[in-house]
Amino acid sequence: MLSRDDVFEELGIGPVWRLREIATGSSQTPAPVVETRPARDAAAQSPEPSAPARFTWERLADAVAHCTACKLHTTRTQGVLGVGDRNADWLFIGEAPGADEDRLGEPFVGQAGKLLDAMLAAIDLRRGENVYIANVLKSRPPGNRNPEPDEVAACRPYLRAQIELIQPKLIVALGRFAAQSLLDTDESIGRLRGRLHSFLNVPLVVTYHPAYLLRNLPDKARAWEDLCLARHTMRSLPSQS
Ligand code: URA
């Protein structure tokens, strides 16, 4: 089984992530301390091949499945890596697995997932076809409580690894939590949506979380605007030959 240290080494993100020792006697894997320098900057300073050339999805999946980096591993059923087209142009990122996702091992399979599928269909996308869906956290917080900062920090290397592997053209952050943690801000979703951001040099659009939209129907119109912004942005990107 691959340890998280192996994962980071394989990813070539050693210079970006410093591992902090946890109190002796803990069985948990050391939690990473995040530095703000993007992974691509690190790659630019190093003659090493880029991460995806040396790292595989299988190793990442194995690392997530066996991760003990935060306390959530004691309560989750399984780690939920993500689902979809691993070469997708579109990457949708939610908050964390809920009860259904924890049980089935796939993101957005409950009621919120049904609405997400409808949102995808509204812009002619389908789960699994040029679309990858992941969460900031790979393990379910018990009782669906909000993720805690140490849990986000512990999981961040996995999301970065996914982005390195997928190389999406556009990220859509679903909801306040995903948007704030990806953009490292406490600005409200109302202020973050409606404009273009960037995460790890990938353009990023913020919209409401499908679970929120299920409870706040009037904001569906705003979500539609966000999806139009995302689609317009994708269409404006230079095509690769
Ligand atoms: N909510 C999320 O943010 N992610 C899921 O996978 C399910 C519900």
Look at residue 238 in the predicted model and tell me its pLDDT.
Answer: 86
pLDDT in tens, 180-216: 999 999 999 999 999 999 999 999 999 999 999 999 9
Nearest CA among 177, 202, 210 for reference residue 192: 177
Look at residue 239 in the predicted model and tell me its pLDDT.
Answer: 79
Tell me how far CA of residue 157 lies from CA of 71, 137, 204, in angstroms. Answer: 16, 10, 18
213 Cβ below 6 A of ligand 1: no
Q: What percent of the chain has pLDDT over 70?
A: 77
Mean pLDDT of the 122-145 span:
97
pLDDT in tens, 43-81: 333 333 344 445 799 999 999 999 999 999 999 999 999
- Name the residue ranges covered by the structural domains of the chain: 4-13+51-232
- In this structure, the residue with its CA closest to atom 7 of ligand 1 is 108
79 Cβ below 6 A of ligand 1: no
Look at residue 55 in the predicted model and tell me its pLDDT.
Answer: 74
What residue ranges in the chain does DSSP mark as E strands? 17-19, 32-34, 83-84, 90-94, 131-135, 170-174, 196-199, 202-207
CATH number assigned to the domain with residue range 4-13+51-232, chosen from the 4 options 3.50.50.60, 3.40.470.10, 3.40.50.2300, 3.40.640.10: 3.40.470.10
112 Cβ below 6 A of ligand 1: yes
141 Cβ below 6 A of ligand 1: no
108 Cβ below 6 A of ligand 1: yes
What separation in Å is there between the alpha carbon of 180 and the centre of ligand 1? 15
pLDDT in tens, 134-171: 999 999 999 989 999 999 999 999 999 999 999 999 99
Residue that wins the pLDDT comparison between 68 and 30: 68
Q: Which of 19-28, 38-47, 207-216 has the highest mean pLDDT?
A: 207-216
What separation in Å is there between the alpha carbon of 5 and the centre of ligand 1? 27
Residue 85 has pLDDT above 60, yes or no: yes
Give the position of tokens 């993007």.
Answer: 38
What separation in Å is there between the alpha carbon of 83 and the centre of ligand 1? 12
181 Cβ below 6 A of ligand 1: no
Q: What is the DSSP string of 171-212?
A: EEEEHHHHHHHHHT----HHHHTTSEEEETTEEEEEE--HHH
Residue 117 has pLDDT above 70, yes or no: yes
Choose one of 101, 106, 127, 182 to mutate for the ligand 1 pocket test, by most ligand atoms within 8 angstroms of C-beta: 101
- Return the ligand 1 atom nearest residue 80 CA: 6
What separation in Å is there between the alpha carbon of 45 and the centre of ligand 1? 36
